[in-house]
Structure 1
């Protein structure tokens, strides 16, 4: 069985923090591949992404083209309506029956797990890899037992980068160089993304 971890998210834009989390999970959990799946319409985000789905997917492709264990997927962008993880997992399992899937999530999402759509069914299908980030408290003991049993917590080097900060910097005319991979930086500048 090929072990795949996948990261969902808006990736608006993808940055070095995402890549570092993916590599940390790959190494710590012995994953064969990590897939990046930009969300179409994420249910737990108050505001939708600023860049459209194909633009965000293109940034993912540019960010990971050097890493043979990373792959970008458009499975959520092709689907209409809200992007629920359970639907993504079922699609992936149908398309790739030879894979065993884990979901890589940030520590902020670990605490949200009980709120996820059809979480009982989802937890029966996949494992969760929680990536501990600086300044965010993990409340693993507060999670239901069935989630604690399906959750691994890993550490990653601390890096204080967020997509929100990158978008704000661009809107203010400040540099984002070295916060995102060079090919993503060039793509953002060339396309005038996130400018005020």
Structure 2
């Protein structure tokens, strides 16, 4: 099975994440997209980042009606700080029957050369790239790499930061979140302070 890995803090997961993940699952040769919840990096200030369990629970709630989208806590079990290359090695050992690819925005592709062992990632894994308005239109050399697949996905410029700030200000952002995720956030009083 061909699995696309969509990494994120998902703090919180919103409709933009689902639009991209579902588009990749339906309009590429990927069989499934795993939404990999990135754990809190102990070296970074936690301030607005919800506990790992709550963010994973919101991804479960958001994806339960999408059979091709699966939540993943695989990085919770790895030592921190973690690098994508290590996660990929771990997944290949744990699931040798699957072929793993990465999903990223065009803005991330620009900085891929800064990633640990990015050459190894490119050598062994396909990368599916979705467009971002925030990505500079300048030519990204990696765009022509045989392992890079540019997917003409909808451009969605919704950010979790925008959602958190609006909740804090008491604004209604329900249309930007799956209904069950909004209910979970509202019930738990998240992001209000």
Q: Normalising by structure 2, what TM-score?
A: 0.91
2:166 paired with 1:161:
no
Distance 1:177 1:144 in 2: 36
Partner residue in 1 for 2:52: 53
Which piece of structure 1 moves more, 23-32 or 132-141? 132-141
Cα 1:99–1:124 change in 2 (3 A) is same
Partner residue in 2 for 1:3: 2
Distance 1:128 1:175 in 2: 35
Partner residue in 1 for 2:125: 126
Distance 1:59 1:139 in 2: 36
Partner residue in 1 for 2:24: 25
What's the offset of the Cα at 1:132? 0.5
Partner residue in 2 for 1:172: 169
Q: Normalising by structure 1, what TM-score?
A: 0.90
Return 5+ residue gaps in structure 1 as ranges: none
Q: Deviations over 1:137-191 (max 9, x none)?
A: 255543397xx22111112223331111001111111112010100000001111
Distance 1:67 1:39 in 2: 21
Cα 1:101–1:160 change in 2 (3 A) is same
Return 5+ residue gaps in structure 2 as ranges: none
Q: CA RMSD in A?
A: 2.1
The count of residues paired between Structure 1 and Structure 2 equals 192
Partner residue in 2 for 1:99: 98
Partner residue in 2 for 1:39: 38
CA contact (8 A) 1:84 1:117 kept: yes
- Which 4+ residue blocks in structure 1 deviate beyond 3 angstroms? 45-49, 138-141
Which piece of structure 1 moves more, 134-143 or 79-88? 134-143
- SS of the residue corresponding to residue 75 of structure 2 reads coil
Cα 1:42–1:154 change in 2 (3 A) is farther
Q: 2:188 aligns with which of 157, 170, 191?
A: 191
